[in-house]
């Protein structure tokens, strides 16, 4: 083919997700594997969400509600914010893509930490924008350094709080100082995919600063704490003018019926959410105590995942553990060639992980 493809598209390195458990078992000829690689919910989906989805399957011949009325009003009630400030997305990834498509022209700059969620770079390049990265300081986002890099060409800033893959947070006092000094032409986008797991009361929650005059967007998802990753449903909270802009390009029926129905039920499943957080926090303590006993270095976290220094090539450690039926994530593509990342699993899965890690590093 002799298609004319823009250079900025050719510059994109495709996002490589963790392979499904079944695919890896086929490829390596193993079974009875455990997957701790994609920050998924160890308890599965919300039971209330499952029940609601099962009762809705007979209506799959009907198109979904294109405006997501019921779910948006459930989110509105949950957050205490007006419905006109909420936009649904096919995962929060889709909203990232819409924001870059609407606000970036070729040559505009977008700022984000290095290292952080890889989709920021992909979405910015896909819109013809210029990604500008700012290194982390002690594995944390350095807002002072971020602010220093803003120029007249900067159109947006991405912050991941807690940050993926490091699990560190942005503190309220630092966030307030940062947004109070942001030029009016710069949109700040705060990705809070893991905010439900945070235990530090000093963590900034950007939704508290949303109003119709401040250029600020909060992104949240039902994939992690609510266990609905397979449905691809998330939302953005933003000024109502921004919602109107994104609705100009939003695909009709961008979130499917079962996703809307499942999320509408999940957001009311308070018992399930508390059980998830209780399990994650107790199993984090178990995993970290076990690593301390082994003298293995890891990085503290405010999420359901954390990074471990394996003192060798992460890809090699990944392969060794895979052959034992334990699937983890190499952090090489994130810029940490000697780290793996794991998410918290069920207790028996975490015991098996520790056993496999001991054998791998021996």
Token pair of 235, please?
A: 């939302």
Q: So what's the pLDDT on residue 23?
A: 73
Each residue's pLDDT tens digit, 288-313: 999 999 999 999 999 999 999 999 99
* pLDDT for 173: 97
pLDDT of residue 19: 64
Give the residue carrying structure tokens 């910015």: 124
Q: Do domains 7-44+270-361 and 56-266 have the same CATH topology?
A: no
| Positions in the chain whose pLDDT score sits under 50 | none
- Classify domain 56-266 by CATH architecture: 3-Layer(aba) Sandwich (3.40)
User: Cα angle vertex 296, ends 343, 315, to 5°?
Assistant: 60
> Among residues 207, 225, 201, 354, which one has the least CA distance to residue 292?
354
| CA–CA gap between residue 299 and residue 139 (Å, rounded) | 9
Q: How many CA atoms lie within 13 A of 200 on its CB side?
A: 17
Q: Where are the domains of the chain?
A: 7-44+270-361, 56-266
Among 362, 347, 361, 334, which residue's Cα sits nearest to residue 167? 334
Determine phi and psi for 109, rounding to 5 degrees: -105, 145
Instruction: State the DSSP code for 251.
Output: P
- Would you say 21 and 33 are in contact if contact means Cβ atoms under 8 Å apart? yes
The pLDDT assigned to 249 comes to 96
- Tell me if the domain spanning 7-44+270-361 has CATH number 3.90.1150.10: yes
Task: Tell me the whole-structure pTM to 2 decimals.
Answer: 0.94
Looking at residue 172, what is its pLDDT? 98
Tokens of 42: 């160890």
CB atoms within 10 A of CB 359: 12
């Amino acid at each position: 083919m002799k298609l004319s493809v823009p250079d900025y598209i050719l510059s994109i390195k495709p996002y490589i997700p963790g392979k499904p458990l079944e695919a890896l078992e086929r490829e390596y000829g193993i079974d009875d594997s455990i997957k701790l690689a994609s920050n998924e919910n160890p308890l599965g989906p919300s039971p209330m969400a499952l029940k609601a989805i099962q009762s809705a399957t007979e209506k799959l011949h009907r198109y979904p509600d294109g405006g997501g009325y019921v779910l948006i009003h459930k989110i509105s009630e949950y957050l205490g914010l007006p419905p006109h400030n909420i936009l649904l997305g096919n995962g929060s990834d889709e909203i990232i893509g819409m924001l870059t498509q609407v606000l970036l022209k070729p040559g505009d700059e977008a700022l984000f930490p290095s290292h952080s969620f890889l989709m920021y770079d992909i979405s910015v390049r896909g819109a013809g924008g210029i990604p500008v990265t700012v290194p982390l300081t002690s594995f944390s986002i350095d807002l002072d350094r971020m602010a220093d890099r803003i120029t007249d060409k900067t159109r947006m800033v991405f912050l991941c709080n807690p940050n993926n893959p490091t699990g560190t947070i942005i503190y309220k006092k630092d966030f307030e100082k940062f947004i109070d000094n942001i030029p009016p032409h710069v949109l700040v986008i705060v990705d809070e995919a893991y905010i439900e797991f945070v235990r530090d009361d000093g963590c900034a929650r950007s939704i508290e600063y949303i109003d119709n005059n401040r250029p600020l967007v909060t992104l949240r998802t039902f994939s992690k704490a609510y266990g609905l990753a397979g449905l691809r449903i998330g939302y953005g909270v933003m000024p109502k003018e921004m919602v109107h802009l994104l609705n100009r390009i939003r695909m009709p029926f961008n979130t499917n019926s079962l996703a809307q129905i499942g999320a509408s039920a999940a957001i009311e499943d308070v018992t399930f959410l508390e059980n998830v957080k209780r399990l994650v926090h107790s199993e984090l303590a178990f995993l970290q105590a076990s690593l301390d006993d082994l003298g293995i270095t890891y990085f503290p976290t405010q999420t359901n995942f954390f990074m471990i220094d394996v003192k060798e090539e992460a890809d090699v450690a990944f392969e060794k553990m895979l052959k034992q039926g334990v699937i983890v994530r190499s952090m090489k593509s994130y810029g940490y060639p000697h780290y793996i990342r794991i998410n918290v699993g069920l207790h028996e899965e975490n015991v098996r992980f520790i056993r496999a890690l001991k054998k791998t590093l021996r």
